[in-house]
Amino acid sequence: MITPLLVLLLLSLTADGLPAPRGRIEGVVVDGTRGNEMLVNAEVVLRAGPGNALVPIATTKTDVYGKFAFEGLSLDPTITYLPGADRDGVHYPGDRTRLDLKNRFAYVTIVAFAAVKTPSPLVAERHDIDISVQQDLMEVTETLLVKNPSRRTYVGERGDDKMQVTLRLSIPPDFDRVTFDREFYGRRFGIDDHHPVTDIPWPPGRRELRFAYRVALRNGAGVFRRTLELPCGDIHVRVHGENPEQLACNMPSERDTHSDEALFTWRGKPLPVGHTIELRVGRSPFPWIQFARWASLAAVGALAISSIAVVRYRDWQSTAKHKLSDSNISRNPTSRRAA
């Protein structure tokens, strides 16, 4: 199918009125899930435009050998071409290329993968959490190296009346102003039940995800809890800012005595999904209440024990006096009859 933009490109003429030389982009689409076998009848889309402003200008399908071709293309060196294949609702772009009078032809190989909805094959190859502690808040920056070790693209399952979620970031629900370092992620993440979620497909390989947010503190103290959404065996929590020595974490510490920051790490068997990293910052304003509660309970208990002891002591004294009196009576019969 030819679009109006392609028509304009085809109608461009040279200065002498003769048709301008044309370019050609051809290539092959292979199945990355099945050892790069040729994909037959796969849809291929060609995008083009100046710079990064690319729009679809033509579509075609691969033949019985997995090959495709786009012909009659402008040789304007300012135009960028990007062919890509669609498979199972996922678009797989090839390499960007430009054509000119010296390079009128380009060959592109596009790798497409089969899709999987469940279970999720995703793991976190590395998880870095950088926390800057200020007076009334923590500024948190996280970097996740997400890996899909399988040979299929993870697309997730669609729930009832919900988006097709592939990743849910289990950051503290009271977060504020989450931002992503790449605009692509910022556009593709939404909020569901106080957590950032996305429907981004995850093809085989690695992809770095970096984002930042803020969490409030109360009187310079609080608890940061981060639940893992992906299994990970290489986790680093780095804390710096005010009073870094007033910290406690449920991960091993690697505190550097020559640094003003604290480092907590986990290296080894991957921690499972749902494991919670807990970091206590500063001296919490609440422990004295808990201490007072326990102290009051202890005081009540001590009072009850002392009361029981006093009562028992008095009973013992009374019993002892009666026994002593009975003993004197038995020893003095005369006094007993007089009585």
pTM of the complete model: 0.75
CA distance 54 to 40: 26
Q: Which of 139, 83, 92, 136 is nearest to 113 (CA)?
A: 92
pLDDT digits (tens), the chain, 339 positions? 555 555 455 445 444 555 678 999 999 999 999 999 999 999 999 999 998 889 999 999 999 999 999 999 999 999 999 999 999 999 999 999 999 999 999 999 999 999 999 999 999 999 999 999 988 889 999 999 999 999 999 999 876 667 789 999 999 999 988 999 999 999 999 998 899 999 999 999 999 999 999 999 887 788 999 999 999 999 999 998 866 567 899 999 986 656 678 999 999 999 999 999 999 987 644 343 343 344 444 554 555 566 666 556 566 566 655 554 554 444 444 433 333
Determine the residue type at 62: T
> Distance from CA of residue 129 to its chain's centroid?
11
DSSP string, 27-65: EEEEEGGGTTEEPTT-EEEEEEEETT--EEEEEEE--TT
